[in-house]
């Protein structure tokens, strides 16, 4: 008998359920200084948090369910788009046309359409043009509500995973260089990108940011040398619109001063 | 399309709010909401499994309107979208011809993020079916890092897979077992012996045909007409499910034209004696019918067509079928199967 994947998955699901009951999909904005208490007594992290506090004021936590990068990215980027109508319109156009590309790449149309439709619905619901003077705060609330509704939130994650997978396929030759081990791009997409709950690596971030044309800065809070937090911009040299903090295994959203 | 989607969404919006606890028939719920499409209920998702209910309702409806050839699906219990009964008709001109295989399909609460499972209720001797009937097919496996499994990672589950893509994989697996990770080792060994002997060692096909026969007899007892020719197999039900028929109707009894009775074997008949004369017509018909069904279906049907072509006209249909599936099994071992 082969090892039962289902049993491993079942145990994983149970852990996830615990996480799920204790953390919202996306939290409110919290003062970044909360990390100080979290890592009290840890000299390396404390020094780095001090450094981080010079540049950022708030953090917004995402549920650690393996989808955190995608969820954090989507939330943070839409938050930016709410305040920038031109960029919003451009993104909406790109999102609209992404479906046909993915169908061409061989995803089943029937289900893809459903994911795409929900994705577009989310984008439309935060259209900056549709709100009056009190605009952005209202949209902000709407966005927050949508992202904490599992149905919508997860469909957005799925669709971003598909866009990421599509990009990897489109530029397979380039991305093959990033893949460790004997995976082909094809295998990697199906195994590490498309399925839910699969954690993201640099390659996911690069592919998604490139596909969407959005700059992301990731601050790495880890045990690396020095007392400063190292940042990395994706794609390299781009102007960041989304700021994320990475702690081993997890991404949250950051808000610069 | 957008209109369709909107209607679909409305149906589902209502469906979702009721599916959890309702005692109403799912079908009438769906239908009722369709007739009152003027209502403004659109999307109200919040329950944890709302995605699952939504996806399942949508897929179920689509499969009623446009079935996958060779399959019939229904809910085991009208109130529960998470457990389906699937009936599979053995594809004509294969070992499974005439067979009628029942299976239960169970969906997890986080469908479509995790795959459903399938268990055969009818006895099926196949390298990828466990003793208890559980079907072991990679498309139904969640992606876990498991280099030992011997499966190609590219065939694993992802949320865009759906019942339609699963059923197409199942039908292709019937004739092209995956012997790299057999669930039934004895069946796998036997299958390989048959394949490697170019059909001379025919223990494997004999067992399959016996099971198909037994299943056919069982189908008859239940009053079910099993399609025996490609033409009938690919035939879509002419009527569209209307208000009452959706889930309540006994969909097994009248989907196929009664003319097929002529082609039915009696219990002691040989399977391989008919449909030679009309092979060209059959192929044409089935191909054109399949076009309505999206590329995946067409591809699957095309491959089953090509197999049929190999078999047609040969008296010893079994041996020929053996060659055909042996070839394709070899192919599948080298790379992707689809």
Q: Do A117 and B51 touch (CB under 8 A)?
A: no
Query: B140: which DSSP letter?
Result: G
Q: What is the mean pLDDT of residues A99-127?
A: 94
> Has residue B295 been placed in a domain?
no
Candidate from A196-210, A235-249, B12-26 with smallest mean pLDDT: B12-26
Look at A52-66, B27-41, B250-264, B268-282 and tell me which has the smallest mean pLDDT.
B27-41
Which of A68, A144, A204, A252 is the catalytic position?
A: A68
Show residues of chain A in contact with B164, CB under 8 Å.
108, 110
The pLDDT of residue B7 is above 70: no
Q: Which of A108, A155, A186 sits opposite B51 (nearest CB)?
A: A155
**Which of A4, A6, A66, A112 to mutate to probe the B interface, most B CBs <10 Å?**
A6
Catalytic residue among A116, A144, A250, A252: A250
Give me the pLDDT at residue B336, please. 33
A179 CB neighbours in chain B (<8 A) are none
Entry field: residues in chain B: 338
Select the residue of B9, B142, B162 nearest A195 (Cβ to Cβ). Answer: B142
Q: Compute CA distances B107 → A3, B90, B115, whole Å.
A: 21, 24, 7
Q: At what angle do helices B163-175 and B294-311 cross, to 10 degrees?
A: 20
**For the segment B278-336, what is each residue's pLDDT rounded down to a tens digit?**
444 444 444 333 333 333 333 333 333 322 223 333 333 333 333 334 334 333 333 33
Tokens of B332: 């599948």
Q: Is residue B82, in this structure, part of any structural domain at all?
A: yes
Instruction: Tokens 């040989």: give the residue.
Output: B270
Told to judge if A204 belongs to the known catalytic residues of this protein, a careful annotator would answer no
pLDDT reading at A80 higher than 70: yes
Residue B38 in any domain: the answer is no
Kindly state whether B58 is in contact with chain A, defined as any CB-CB distance less than 8 angstroms: yes
Pick from B121, B117, B95, B100: nearest CA to B108: B117
pLDDT band for position B48 (cuts 50, 70, 90): very low
Kindly state whether A152 is in contact with chain B, defined as any CB-CB distance less than 8 angstroms: yes
CA distance A182 to A170: 19
When divided into structural domains, chain B yields a total of: 1
Q: Residue B297 domain-assigned?
A: no
- Does A10 or A190 have the greater pLDDT score? A190
Does pLDDT of B16 surpass 80?
Answer: no
Residues of B annotated as part of the active site? 136
The answer to whether residue B146 sits within a structural domain is yes
pLDDT of residue B52: 92
Asked if B157 and A195 come within 8 Å (Cβ–Cβ), the reply is yes
By Cβ distance, the residue of A110, A155, A195 closest to B158 is A195
Distance CA A112, CA A161 (A): 12
Compute the nearest-CA separation of A206 from chain B (Å).
Answer: 21
Question: Roughly how many angstroms between the first and final C-alpha of chain A, as a whole number?
Answer: 57
Question: CA–CA separation, A218 vs A248, rounded Å?
Answer: 12
Residue B11 and residue B246: Cα distance in Å, rounded? 14
Distance CA(B132)–CA(B121), nearest Å, equals: 9
B337 and B171 Cβ atoms separated by less than 8 Å = no
Cβ–Cβ < 8 Å for B89, B226: yes
Judge whether B309 lies within some domain: no
Residue B160 lies in a domain: yes
- pLDDT of B315 reads 32
- A79 contacts chain B (CB < 8 A): no
Tokens in use for B69? 């050839």
B-chain residues within 8 Å CB-CB of A6? Answer: 117, 142
Asked which of A4-13, A137-146, B68-77 is least confident by mean pLDDT, the reply is: A4-13
* B57 belongs to a structural domain: yes
Note the pLDDT tens digit of each residue in B129-183.
999 999 998 888 876 555 444 545 446 789 999 999 999 999 989 989 988 888 9
| Domains parsed from chain A with CATH numbers | 3-256 (1.20.1300.20)
pLDDT per residue as tens digits for the range B52-110 = 999 999 999 999 999 888 899 999 999 999 999 999 999 888 899 999 999 999 999 99
Instruction: Name which residue leads in pLDDT, B321 or B50.
Output: B50
| A65 is an active site residue | yes
Helix, strand or coil for residue B73?
A: strand
Radius of gyration of chain A (CA): 19
Q: What is the pLDDT of residue B303?
A: 33
Q: What's chain A's average pLDDT? A: 92
Residue B249 confidence (pLDDT): 41
- Chain A residues close to B149, C-beta within 8 Å: 2-3, 5
Q: In what order do the strands lie in the sheet with A250-256?
A: A26-31, A56-62, A250-256, A240-247, A215-220, A230-234
ipTM for the assembly: 0.84
Q: Is A108 on the interface with B (CB under 8 A)?
A: yes
pLDDT at B193 over 90: yes
Average of per-residue pLDDT across A104-133: 89
Q: Determine the Cα–Cα distance for residues B204 and B190; give it in Å rounded to an integer.
A: 6
Percent of chain A past pLDDT 90, that is, above it, reads: 79
Task: Give the CATH number for residue B161.
Answer: 3.10.110.10
Is the Cβ–Cβ distance between A60 and A253 less than 8 Å? yes
Sequence-distant (≥ 6) Cβ neighbours of residue A205 within 8 angstroms: A69, A73, A216, A218, A234
Q: Exposed, middle or buried by CB within 10 Å (0-12, 13-18, 19+), for B267?
A: exposed
Report d(CA B329, CA B260) in Å as an integer: 31
Assess whether pLDDT exceeds 90 at residue B115. yes
Helix or strand (DSSP H, E) at A88: helix A85-104
pLDDT attached to residue A23:
84
Is B113's CB within 8 Å of A117's CB? no
Question: Which residues of chain A does B142 touch, with a Cβ-Cβ cutoff of 8 Å?
Answer: 5-6, 9, 195
Q: Are A203 and A168 in contact (CB under 8 A)?
A: yes
Q: List the one residue out of B34, B55, B244 whose CA is nearest residue B164.
A: B55
Which of A104, A118, A195 would best serve as a mutation to test chain B binding (most B beta carbons within 10 A)? A195
Contact by Cβ (8 Å): B119, B135:
yes
Least confident piece of the model among A57-71, B75-89, B229-243: B229-243
In terms of residue numbers, what domain contains B72? 50-233
């Amino acid at each position: 008998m082969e090892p039962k994947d289902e049993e491993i998955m079942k145990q994983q699901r149970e852990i996830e359920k615990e996480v799920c009951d204790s953390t919202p999909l996306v939290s409110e904005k919290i003062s970044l200084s909360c990390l100080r208490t979290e890592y009290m007594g840890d000299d390396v992290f404390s020094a780095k948090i001090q450094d981080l506090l010079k540049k950022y004021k708030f953090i917004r936590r995402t549920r650690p369910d393996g989808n955190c990068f995608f969820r954090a990215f989507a939330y943070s980027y839409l938050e930016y788009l709410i305040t920038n109508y031109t960029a919003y319109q451009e993104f909406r156009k790109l999102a609209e046309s992404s479906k046909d590309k993915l169908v061409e790449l061989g995803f089943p149309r029937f289900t893809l359409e459903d994911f795409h439709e929900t994705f577009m619905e989310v984008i439309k619901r935060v259209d900056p043009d549709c709100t009056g003077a009190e605009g952005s705060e209202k949209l902000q609330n709407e966005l927050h509500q949508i992202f904490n509704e599992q149905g919508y939130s997860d469909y957005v994650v799925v669709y971003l995973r598909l866009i990421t997978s599509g990009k990897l396929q489109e530029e397979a030759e380039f991305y093959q260089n990033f893949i460790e081990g004997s995976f082909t791009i094809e295998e990697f997409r199906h195994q590490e990108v498309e399925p839910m709950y699969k954690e993201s690596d640099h390659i996911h971030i690069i592919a998604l940011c490139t596909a969407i044309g959005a700059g992301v800065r990731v601050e790495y809070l880890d045990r690396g040398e020095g007392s400063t937090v190292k940042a990395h911009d994706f794609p390299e040299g781009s102007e960041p619109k989304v700021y994320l903090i990475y702690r081993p295994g997890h991404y949250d959203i950051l808000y610069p001063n | 399309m957008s209109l369709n989607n909107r209607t679909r969404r409305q149906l589902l919006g209502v469906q979702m709010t009721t599916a959890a606890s309702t005692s109403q028939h799912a079908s009438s719920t769906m239908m009722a909401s369709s007739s009152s499409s003027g209502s403004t209920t659109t999307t109200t998702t919040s329950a944890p499994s709302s995605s699952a209910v939504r996806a399942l309702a949508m897929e179920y409806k689509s499969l009623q309107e446009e079935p996958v050839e060779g399959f019939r699906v229904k809910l085991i219990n009208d109130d529960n979208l998470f457990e389906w009964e699937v009936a599979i008709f053995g594809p004509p001109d294969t070992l499974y011809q005439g067979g009628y295989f029942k299976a239960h399909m169970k969906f997890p609460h986080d469908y479509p993020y995790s795959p459903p499972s399938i268990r055969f209720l009818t006895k099926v001797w196949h390298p990828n079916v466990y003793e208890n009937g559980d079907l072991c097919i990679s498309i139904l496996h969640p992606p876990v890092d498991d280099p030992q499994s011997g499966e190609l990672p590219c065939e694993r589950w992802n949320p865009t897979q759906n019942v339609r893509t699963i059923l197409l994989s199942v039908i292709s697996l019937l004739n092209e077992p995956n012997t790299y990770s057999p669930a039934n080792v004895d069946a796998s060994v036997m299958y390989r012996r048959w394949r490697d002997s170019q059909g001379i060692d025919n223990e494997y096909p004999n067992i399959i045909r016996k099971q198909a026969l037994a299943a056919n007899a069982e189908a008859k007892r239940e009053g079910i007409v099993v399609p025996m020719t490609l033409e009938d197999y690919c035939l879509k039900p002419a009527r569209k499910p209307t208000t009452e028929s959706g889930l309540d109707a006994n969909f097994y009894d009248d989907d196929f034209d009664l003319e097929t009775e002529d082609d039915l074997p009696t219990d002691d008949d040989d399977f391989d004696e008919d449909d030679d004369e009309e092979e060209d017509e059959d192929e044409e018909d089935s191909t054109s019918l399949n076009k309505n069904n999206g590329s995946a279906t067409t591809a699957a049907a095309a491959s089953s067509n090509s197999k049929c072509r190999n078999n047609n006209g040969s008296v010893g249909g079994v041996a020929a079928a053996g060659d055909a599936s042996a070839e394709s099994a070899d192919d599948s071992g080298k790379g992707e199967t689809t």
